[in-house]
Amino acid sequence: MLGAPGDGWRIAMALLGFERGISTLGQQMQFTHELEWVAQAARDNGSSRDVLVRQRIARAWAGLRVMRANALWMLAGAAQAGADGGTALQREALIYKYYWSNWHRDLGQLALDVLGPLANVLDAGETGDGRRTRLQQMALFSRADTIYAGTNEIQLNIIAERGLGMPREARGQS
């Protein structure tokens, strides 16, 4: 048993805060690689000459920097809360899943847009490095990010209720 009887929810939320904190740095490394693949594909196929594509790549890069700053802020807050004996999720942890899942979904769409018509064609090894396949897989999988581990709608309810102190949404009878 961890903690006192009845403390399960409080401990689970503390663990979730640390999980969302520490796992973010590895996740962001993967996102950085994916963004580099998108930028390289844009350079290779000439779509980087399109000002809108360049702006979207720059926005993705800036969004990744915001994500990193928030993660560091979240980790610092979790460490301080742990040092003070607290276990509540920080606001930064509440918004993190919503932010990264939408950012990643948008990066996936950018990858498909950069690939253009080739996004719909299976790479039969002609690129030699499988980059197109990786981008296609990332784009398709990233759509699930806004669903698993709490849909966007659930995440927004959590942010409103726990982060902003809004009244709880009406729930059905059990």
CATH number at residue 111: 1.20.140.10
Q: Give yes or no for a contact between 22 and 65, defined as CB atoms under 8 angstroms apart.
A: no
Position 171 in a domain: no
As given in the structure block, the two tokens for residue 21 are 């904190």
Tally of structural domains, the chain: 1
Q: Give yes or no for a contact between 42 and 51, defined as CB atoms under 8 angstroms apart.
A: no
Q: Give yes or no for a contact between 92 and 18, defined as CB atoms under 8 angstroms apart.
A: no
19 belongs to the catalytic site: yes
Q: Which residue has the tokens 């009244």?
A: 167
Q: Give yes or no for a contact between 37 and 131, defined as CB atoms under 8 angstroms apart.
A: yes
Position 144 in a domain: yes
pLDDT of residue 4: 82
Distance CA 55, CA 48 (A): 9
| pLDDT tens profile 94-108 | 888 899 999 999 999
Position 54 in a domain: yes
Helix ranges (DSSP H) in 46-163: 51-83, 91-115, 131-142, 152-158
Distance CA 81, CA 77 (A): 6
Whether the model clears a pTM of 0.85, i.e. scores above it, the answer is no
> Element (H or E) spanning 22, and its range?
helix 8-45
Distance CA 13, CA 2 (A): 13
pLDDT of residue 74: 79
Position 133 in a domain: yes
CA atoms within 13 A on the CB side of 160: 10
Q: Which residues contact 157 (CB under 8 A, 6 or more apart)?
A: 169
Position 130 in a domain: yes
Position 2 in a domain: no
DSSP state of 117: G
Q: Which domain holds residue 116?
A: 9-163
**Can you list the residues of the chain whose pLDDT is less than 50?**
87
pLDDT of residue 134: 93
Position 37 in a domain: yes
Position 173 in a domain: no
